[in-house]
């Protein structure tokens, strides 16, 4: 299987290189007559397109070989031996394939080739001048990543001699979100390369009208959706798994996914202006090129470790190739845009500053400014190290200083955009449509000032009022739209609503997204500004109070977690907490700390269970109003002392038969855990009470539902009939659509 | 593995063996595609302008003026589409 995998990767690289050459050769010969052997330019273009299909099939087989090796725990694969074990549950063995650099790069190629196949199949009769160049770009990117796998970091490296057991999956990756978070992120990155490639093709062929946008817009929206889901899943994973109580740390890897999402959001708005008015061509093509570059940059940041230190750049085998690719993409993009500057001139000008076009422009500027802030904050430590030799850190307070005001403006614009008409709005109309939303914001302000403790939290107060404004706008838009629909069709309210959304998916899908964004930002503002954090040390039987909760440490818990093959997977030590609020019914929280055995041969037989990796299992009680979150750090010093004494005993009994040794080891660990349960020393608890955290996840769900509505394909219109006059034809086609 | 390679090679070289693109694929000229996309966008603009009017963002007079202008632009696009004739079919 290893040899087959390696050979298929080389074959895949050959396909990709061939496809680039065939597509470009066919594009150049497109209008030339068939050659002596009867092969027209179109034949070469079709061959290049089929190379993408063949690449997809080949990479699917490669990935399947790797997955089978993980599922079978085939430790002759070096990747399997270093990222999995027989004690790793099957679910996580399947996901372990992309926990490694090599496996994740193979996943990237699989997704890139799959989306490329889809777009090229869908456009096989359209965009025929642009498609060959887009094919060449997509296959060129695939070839780059395949070169990395073939020459630098092969997923099919052999391990000899074959070990009996693997080192196992990193414990913090053992979470259900791990199954879907990386594929979603990579789907987002690779889907964004599709409009990137078509933008390059449009620039080369000077076909810079609305067609390439119409062709690639669904892929840009799908990319935005997948990347957004990946970002939110990562935040949820961080909140529920990493044991620090937060969901966003402005970590470089998190920022790497956020940047293309921000520019992609800007692109999805501004292309609407180009479709209608032929404006912002330079802006749009630059935005999507930047988004594609940021998607590749994000992949590089996640896998290279470069953000830890610039010295990691040199240590990483991927650093120089990725840097060369990014420099090539940036230089090539700038060159193309400058070369085609004349063809990118706007066909019209802005009619009015009081127009939806103007609001979208502002929205774009804010989103790009946000991206710039994130980019600067992410790379500043590297830049400072390169210039001064010292790495200056930039943390959440720095990001908050610039991101918060920009986010407030963004939420305001998300409320203004839907109420302003295209082309030109009048002040009188604006006053009428803004009255209710402004009233909603004012009511929210009064309620919060009177009833809430918002005095020292102006940013949160403004955000709540703006969210009320946005939700009122969206509600009003739906209400007015349903009313208008019913006036025309006599439908019931539910039917009118369905018909309204079905006939205007982009608009109303977008409104739902805006509502979701408002809900999400309310959750962020509340959980950030009103969070209560307490670190307490409690012995069993003791209690404490945090933010209105009475928390009692009822008893210590401890257990040995055994894998299906009988081996010990981990030791869980924790606590059973009884939680009560306002004298209500008690609830139970069970925070734990899981200790995974280390494979370090220098550690003793017993102490290796307490000196390896450890993860926190969060005790979480979620609600619509607030979350109670807790983790425990058990005091294992006593256990460690016992373990070290036990290490000496087991070391002296080295001649004990393997089976007897295993039984003795298991019995020793069982007694240690039972001792901890019966007589646990005081443990340290971190307790967080965060209002409205659930609104973040609910808001995200609403955003994605809106994205799905906007993405859902519109049914094909009826075929045209012969007509008497153009005006009647327009009226007829409008009525049927 | 050999089966995968053989299938891939057969798929890729098929158009080169016949010497031409698949006969049933109708070509769509770039100009027609551009005009078609512009027409769809124009129709969407007309519908959205009406929806803006019916949801109170435009006065009746503003909508009528805008609608007339958009329909004139749509008619121009239809004229240009018709001037291109029927879509080409490759032999």
Q: End of a domain among A169, A196, A220?
A: A169
Verify that A601 and A712 share a domain, yes or no.
no
Mean pLDDT of chain A: 88
How many Cα neighbours within 13 Å face the side chain of A419? Answer: 27
Least confident of A128-132, A144-148, A258-262: A128-132
Verify that A581 and A667 share a domain, yes or no.
yes
Which residue stretches of A540-692 are H helix? Answer: 637-652, 658-678
All residues at 6 or more sequence positions from A318 whose CB lies less than 8 Å from its CB, including other chains: A101, A148, A152, A153, A300, A303, A304
Q: Where are the domains of chain B?
A: 29-91
Q: Which two tokens stand for residue A556?
A: 């210590």
> What percentage of residues in chain A have a pLDDT greater than 70?
95
What is the per-residue pLDDT across A669-678, written as a single tens digit (0 to 9) for each?
A: 999 999 999 9
Which residue stretches of A278-393 are H helix? Answer: 281-304, 310-315, 319-339, 356-388
What is the per-residue pLDDT across A654-707, written as a single tens digit (0 to 9) for each?
A: 677 877 888 888 888 999 999 999 999 999 999 999 999 999 999 999 999 999
Residue A583: Cβ within 10 Å count: 7
Confidence (pLDDT) at B86? 62
Residue A253 belongs to what domain range? 175-377
Residue A242 has pLDDT above 90, yes or no: no
Per-residue HEC secondary structure of A118-158 comes to HHHHHCCCCCCCCHHHHHHHHHHHHHHHHHHHHHHCCCCCE
* A641: exposed, middle or buried (Cβ count in 10 Å: 0-12, 13-18, 19+): exposed
Which long-range contacts link A638-642 to residues 24+ away (Cβ below 8 Å)? A638/A681, A639/A610, A639/A672, A639/A675, A639/A676, A640/A607, A640/A610, A640/A611, A642/A606, A642/A672, A642/A675
Q: Is A425 on the interface with B (CB under 8 A)?
A: yes
CA-angle at A460, arms to A459 and A463, nearest 5°: 85
User: Is A58 within 8 Å of B57 when comparing Cβ atoms?
Assistant: no
Residue A105 CA to chain centroid, in angstroms?
16
> What pTM, to 2 d.p., does this model score?
0.90
Confidence (pLDDT) at A723? 38
User: Is B51 within 8 Å of A484 when comparing Cβ atoms?
Assistant: yes
> What percentage of residues in chain A have a pLDDT greater than 90?
55
How many Cα neighbours within 13 Å face the side chain of B89? Answer: 4
User: Is B57 within 8 Å of A53 when comparing Cβ atoms?
Assistant: no
Q: What is the DSSP letter of A653?
A: T
**Range ranked top by mean pLDDT from A215-229, A638-652, B25-39:** A215-229
Verify that A606 and A555 share a domain, yes or no.
yes
Verify that A444 and A299 share a domain, yes or no.
no
Per-residue HEC secondary structure of A173-226 comes to HCCCHHHHHHHHHHHHHHHHHHHHHHHHHHHHHCCCCCHHHHHHHHHHHHHHHH
* A667: exposed, middle or buried (Cβ count in 10 Å: 0-12, 13-18, 19+): exposed
Verify that A467 and A593 share a domain, yes or no.
no
Q: End of a domain among A169, A196, A227?
A: A169
Verify that A197 and A282 share a domain, yes or no.
yes
Residue A101 lies in a domain: yes
Confidence (pLDDT) at A158? 87
Best CA proximity match to A138, nearest among A57, A20, A29, A59: A20
Verify that A717 and A685 share a domain, yes or no.
no
Report the Cα–Cα distance between both ends of chain A, in Å, rounded: 53
CA distances from A457 to A101, A530, A723 (A): 43, 9, 64
Verify that A598 and A499 share a domain, yes or no.
no
Residue A423 lies in a domain: yes
Confidence (pLDDT) at A575? 95
Least confident of A104-108, A150-154, A488-492, A731-735: A731-735
Residue A103 has pLDDT above 80, yes or no: yes
Selecting from A46, A53, A737 the residue whose C-beta is nearest the C-beta of B43 gives: A737
Selecting from A19, A42, A484 the residue whose C-beta is nearest the C-beta of B55 gives: A484
CA distances from A642 to A279, A426, A638 (A): 74, 80, 6
Q: End of a domain among A134, A169, A204?
A: A169
Specify the higher pLDDT residue, A468 or B18. A468
Residue A397 lies in a domain: no
Distance, CA of A247 to CA of A618 (rounded, Å): 13
Task: Look at the block and give the residue holding tokens 């053992």.
Answer: A174
What is the per-residue pLDDT across A35-81, written as a single tens digit (0 to 9) for each?
A: 555 567 888 899 999 999 999 999 999 999 999 999 998 888 888 88
With H, G, I as helix, E, B as strand and everything else as coil, classify residue A24.
helix
Q: If you average pLDDT over residues A84-112, what whole number do you get?
A: 88
Residue A451 has pLDDT above 60, yes or no: yes
Distance, CA of B52 to CA of B38 (rounded, Å): 21
What is the per-residue pLDDT across A535-556, written as a single tens digit (0 to 9) for each?
A: 999 999 999 999 999 999 999 9
Residue A309 has pLDDT above 50, yes or no: no
Verify that A337 and A193 share a domain, yes or no.
yes
Residue A197 pLDDT level (bands cut at 50, 70, 90): very high
Residue A137 lies in a domain: yes
Domain count, chain A: 4
Verify that A239 and A282 share a domain, yes or no.
yes
Verify that A4 and A108 share a domain, yes or no.
yes
Distance, CA of A488 to CA of A490 (rounded, Å): 6
What is the per-residue pLDDT across A572-604, written as a single tens digit (0 to 9) for each?
A: 999 999 999 887 888 999 999 999 888 787 888
User: How long is chain B?
Assistant: 91
Q: If you average pLDDT over residues A331-337, what whole number do you get?
A: 95
List phi, psi (to 5°) of A650: -70, -30
Selecting from A8, A276, A419 the residue whose C-beta is nearest the C-beta of B57 gives: A419
Selecting from B7, B21, B56 the residue whose C-beta is nearest the C-beta of A429 gives: B56
What does DSSP say about strands A568-581 and A683-691: parallel, antiparallel, or unpaired?
A: unpaired
Low-confidence ranges of chain B (pLDDT < 50): 22-26, 89-91
User: Is A433 within 8 Å of B56 when comparing Cβ atoms?
Assistant: yes
Residue A396 lies in a domain: no
Verify that A14 and A146 share a domain, yes or no.
yes
Q: A319-339 and A281-304 are packed helices; what angle lies between their axes, rounded to 10 degrees? A: 180
Residues of A in contact with B62 (CB under 8 A): 421, 424, 426, 429
CA-angle at A201, arms to A196 and A205, nearest 5°: 150
Confidence (pLDDT) at A321? 87
CA-nearest residue to A11 within chain B is: B5
Report the DSSP beta bridge partners of residue A588.
Answer: A578
User: How long is chain A?
Assistant: 737
Residue A389 lies in a domain: no
CA distances from A568 to A91, A290, A594, A618, A667 (A): 18, 49, 12, 22, 12
Residue A601: Cβ within 10 Å count: 6
Q: Is A428 on the interface with B (CB under 8 A)?
A: yes
For the complex shown, is ipTM > 0.85?
no
What is the per-residue pLDDT across A336-384, written as a single tens digit (0 to 9) for each?
A: 999 999 888 887 788 788 888 899 999 999 999 999 999 999 988 878 8
């Amino acid at each position: 299987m290893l040899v087959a995998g390696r050979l298929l990767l080389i074959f895949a690289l050959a396909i990709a290189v061939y496809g680039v050459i065939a597509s470009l050769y066919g594009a150049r010969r497109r209008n030339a007559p068939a050659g002596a052997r009867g092969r027209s330019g179109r034949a070469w273009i079709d061959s290049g397109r089929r190379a993408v299909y063949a690449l997809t099939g080949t990479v699917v087989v490669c990935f399947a070989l790797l997955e089978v090796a993980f599922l079978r725990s085939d430790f002759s694969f070096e990747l399997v031996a270093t990222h999995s074990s027989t004690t790793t549950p099957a679910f996580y063995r399947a996901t372990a394939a992309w926990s490694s650099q090599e496996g994740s790069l193979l996943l990237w190629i699989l997704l890139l080739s799959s989306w490329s196949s889809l777009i090229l199949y869908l456009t096989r009769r359209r965009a025929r001048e642009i498609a060959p160049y887009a094919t060449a770009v997509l296959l060129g990117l695939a070839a780059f990543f395949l070169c990395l796998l073939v020459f630098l970091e092969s997923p099919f490296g052999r391990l000899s001699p074959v070990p009996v057991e693997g080192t196992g999956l990193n414990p913090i990756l053992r979470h259900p979100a791990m199954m879907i978070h990386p594929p979603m992120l990579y789907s987002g990155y690779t889907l964004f390369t599709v409009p990137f490639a078509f933008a390059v093709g449009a620039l080369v062929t000077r076909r810079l009208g609305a067609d390439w946008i119409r062709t690639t817009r669904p892929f840009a929206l799908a990319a935005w959706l997948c990347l957004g889901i990946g970002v939110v899943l990562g935040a949820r994973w961080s909140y529920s798994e990493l044991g620090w109580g937060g969901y966003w740390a402005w970590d470089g890897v998190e920022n790497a996914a956020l940047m293309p999402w921000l520019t992609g959001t800007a692109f999805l708005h501004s292309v609407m202006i180009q479709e209608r008015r032929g404006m912002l061509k330079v802006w749009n093509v630059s935005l999507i090129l930047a988004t594609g570059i940021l998607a590749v940059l994000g992949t590089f940041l996640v896998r290279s470790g470069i953000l830890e230190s610039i010295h990691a750049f040199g240590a990483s085998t991927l650093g120089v190739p990725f840097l060369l690719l990014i420099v090539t993409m940036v230089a090539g993009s700038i060159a193309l845009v400058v070369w085609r500057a004349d063809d990118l001139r706007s066909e019209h000008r802005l009619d009015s500053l009081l127009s939806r076009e103007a609001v979208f422009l502002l929205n774009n500027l804010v989103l790009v400014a946000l991206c710039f802030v994130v980019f600067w904050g992410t790379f500043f430590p590297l830049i400072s190290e390169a210039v001064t030799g010292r790495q200056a850190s930039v943390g959440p307070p720095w990001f908050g200083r610039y991101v918060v005001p920009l986010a407030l403006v963004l939420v305001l614009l998300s409320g203004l955009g839907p109420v302003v008409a295209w082309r030109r709005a009048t002040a009188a109309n604006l006053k009428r449509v803004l009255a209710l939303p402004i009233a909603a914001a004012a009511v929210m302000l009064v309620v919060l000032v009177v009833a809430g403790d918002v005095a020292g939290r102006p940013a949160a107060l403004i955000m709540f009022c703006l969210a009320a404004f946005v939700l009122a706008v969206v509600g009003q838009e739906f209400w007015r739209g349903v009313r208008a629909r019913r006036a025309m069709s006599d439908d019931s309210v539910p039917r009118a609503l369905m018909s309204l959304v079905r006939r205007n998916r982009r608009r109303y899908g977008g409104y739902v997204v805006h509502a979701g964004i408002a809900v999400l930002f309310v959750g962020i503002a509340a959980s950030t500004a009103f969070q209560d954090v307490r670190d307490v040390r409690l012995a069993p039987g003791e209690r404490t109070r945090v933010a209105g909760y009475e928390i009692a440490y009822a008893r210590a818990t401890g257990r040995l977690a055994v894998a299906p093959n009988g081996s010990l997977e981990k030791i869980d030590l924790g606590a059973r907490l009884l939680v009560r609020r306002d004298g209500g019914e008690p609830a139970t929280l069970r925070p734990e700390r899981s200790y995974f055995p280390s494979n370090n041969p220098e550690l003793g037989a017993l102490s290796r269970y307490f000196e390896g990796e450890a993860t926190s299992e969060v005790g979480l009680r979620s609600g619509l109003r607030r979350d109670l979150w807790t983790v425990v750090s058990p005091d294992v010093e006593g256990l460690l002392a016992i373990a070290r004494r036990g290490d000496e005993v087991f070391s002296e009994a080295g001649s004990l038969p393997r089976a007897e040794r295993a039984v003795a080891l298991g019995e020793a660990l069982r007694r240690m855990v039972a001792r901890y349960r019966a007589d646990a020393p005081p443990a340290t608890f971190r307790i967080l009470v965060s209002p409205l955290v659930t609104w973040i996840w609910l808001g995200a769900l609403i955003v994605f539902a809106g994205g799905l509505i906007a993405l859902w394909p519109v049914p094909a219109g009826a075929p045209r009939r012969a007509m008497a006059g153009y005006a009647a034809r327009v009226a007829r086609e409008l009525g049927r659509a | 593995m050999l089966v995968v390679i053989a299938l891939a090679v057969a798929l890729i070289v098929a158009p080169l063996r016949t010497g031409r693109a698949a006969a049933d694929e109708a070509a769509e000229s770039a100009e027609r595609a551009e005009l078609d996309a512009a027409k769809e966008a124009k129709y969407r603009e007309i519908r959205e302008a009406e929806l803006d009017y019916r949801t109170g963002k435009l006065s009746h007079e503003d909508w009528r003026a805008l609608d007339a202008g958009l329909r004139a632009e749509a008619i121009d696009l239809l004229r240009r589409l018709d001037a291109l004739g029927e879509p080409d079919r490759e032999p």
